[in-house]
Amino acid sequence: MAAAVREPSSAGEAFRSLSFWHDSCGDDLTPRPPLPGDADVDVAIVGGGLTGLWTAWYLLQREPDARIAILEREIAGFGASGRNGGWCSALFPQSTAALARRHGRDAAMRMRRAMVDAVDEVARAGEAAGVAFDYAKGGTVTFARNRAQLRAAEAKVAAAEAYGVDALELWGPERVRAAGTARATPALGAAFDPACARIHPARLVRGLARALEARGVAIHERTRVRSWSGAASGPTAPPGTRRATVVTDRGRVRADRVVLATEGYGPTLGATHRRQLPMYSLMIATEPLPAAVWDEIGIAHGQTFADHRHLVVYGQRTADDRLAFGGRGAPYHLGSAIRDRYDRVPRVFRHLRAALRELFPQLPPFETTHAWGGPLGVPRDWHPHVAFDAVSGIADAGGYVGDGLSTTNLAGRTLADLLSGTESELTGLPWVGHRSPDWEVEPLRWAAANAGTLAMGLADREERLTGRPSRIARLVAPLIGG
């Protein structure tokens, strides 16, 4: 049974209703003052999520005196950075094999090493910033619950062994039992990836924002960005136009460099409307479960879990012993529309409760205390990117497809190097300078996105019926990073 919904009495309380994470982050969430008028800075960052915040954090290490302003339409951590599944993992939307085909084997392996390291770097940087965000690195157990899923687990581990970067393990039924998770779900085996930590995402993003403010970064919330323009160049450029400009509803901000860090909200802006597609992912959180229930389930603190279905689900044991569980299945809305009401889809919440019961059939009756969702950014080729044009002064990053908690950190470090002119191993990674094609015009975009979601659901049904890897999934895989 879901908790009763009541009307918020303040702006901060309204934001607490966004998700379990916001409700429990320990911050009153009262919006910071908006931009007070025209401003002049060294770096303007559009978007107060983790990409923008990590960029500011690392840029200050390279340029301690930089004047940085972050412009956020709502509050820092309003979007996916504060509402996600709390997996800080080495997952990347493009498989290693796909990266190798596109960029070469060496580049693919460098990307993988950077992603694995990012999981630990989030912990190091969070500690340096003085942020407590329930970080516990226990790895991910991805169960194989039928023969087709077992073959998928075997293939995933074999692929990791072929490249020698990721330390995945294939668990048979005996190993699953030895790990204490046999009681959790009827499983033929599992793939275990140690490179994943459970975190509280809203505590991370809100704490990082406070740490930046303490270091002199200006964060202007409730400030809507309307457009931006790059710096004019050349001897004929009129005086005063040789800097980039961000136009907001509160004034203009001139800057030497501008970082676009809007992720799934980019489609709300004209200049980036078709760069990414806002795909909704939804979550539920249970009431805290007794220790005896957790002993029966067998999921340890710090451990995240999923299975090998195609219509993705993901879960964790929270620091206060809840099950936080999410998944795909919500529709894409025509015109890349983003509305508050799309965050809550009763059909998907029922599906998530049923999936939890399926994974953990011994669960006692439980209350769903929180149910929420939000959009994440999906590029046309499912390939994230980091880019900086030194001539225009415009930088951007994104397209994480839900794998953003560690990827945003890597993006922030990479952008800091690019913005400061620092050559490094990060600036040579294969996602630097990548440009995904734009999504199709409507209604083709609507048809393609929803057909993909439907196909993944059908692929799962096909595998349950046949016990063999889905032909549908094989056809769709090249379109979604496989």
pLDDT in tens, 192-235: 999 999 999 999 999 999 999 999 999 999 999 999 999 976 55
Q: What is the pLDDT averaged over residues 145-166?
A: 96
Helix axes 105-128, 147-163, angle to 10 degrees: 90
Q: Are 432 and 107 in contact (CB under 8 A)?
A: no
With b for 16 or more beta-carbon neighbours within 10 A and e for fewer, the 75-103 pattern comes to bbbbbbbbbbbbbbbbbbbbbbebbbeeb
Alpha helices per DSSP H over 282-378: 291-297, 346-359
From residue 419, alpha-carbon distances to 64, 261, 400, 415 in Å are 13, 14, 21, 6
From residue 257, alpha-carbon distances to 276, 340, 386, 416 in Å are 22, 32, 15, 11
Give CATH for domain 135-200+277-379+444-480.
3.30.9.10
Superfamily of domain 11-85+202-276+382-428: FAD/NAD(P)-binding domain (3.50.50.60)
Strand ranges (E), 80-232: 87-89, 140-144, 169-171, 189-193, 196-198, 218-220, 225-229
User: Minimal CA–CA distance to 333: which of 235, 399, 267?
Assistant: 267
Q: Are 60 and 420 in contact (CB under 8 A)?
A: no
Tell me, what DSSP letter sits at residue 286?
E
* Integer-rounded Cα radius of gyration of the chain: 22
From residue 347, alpha-carbon distances to 77, 243, 329, 372 in Å are 26, 49, 9, 12
Where do the domains of the chain lie?
11-85+202-276+382-428, 135-200+277-379+444-480
Q: Residue 1's pLDDT band (boundaries 50, 70, 90)?
A: very low
For residue 359, give the amino acid letter.
L
Q: What is the pLDDT averaged over residues 398-405?
A: 97
Look up the pTM and report it.
0.94
Instruction: Provide the pairing of β-strand 385-389 with 68-71.
Output: unpaired
pLDDT in tens, 310-361: 999 999 999 999 999 999 999 999 999 999 999 999 999 999 999 999 999 8
Whole-number Å distance between alpha carbons of 169 and 196: 13
Phi, psi of 16 (to 5 degrees): -65, -25
Q: Residue 241's pLDDT band (boundaries 50, 70, 90)?
A: low
Instruction: Provide the pairing of β-strand 140-144 with 304-307.
Output: parallel
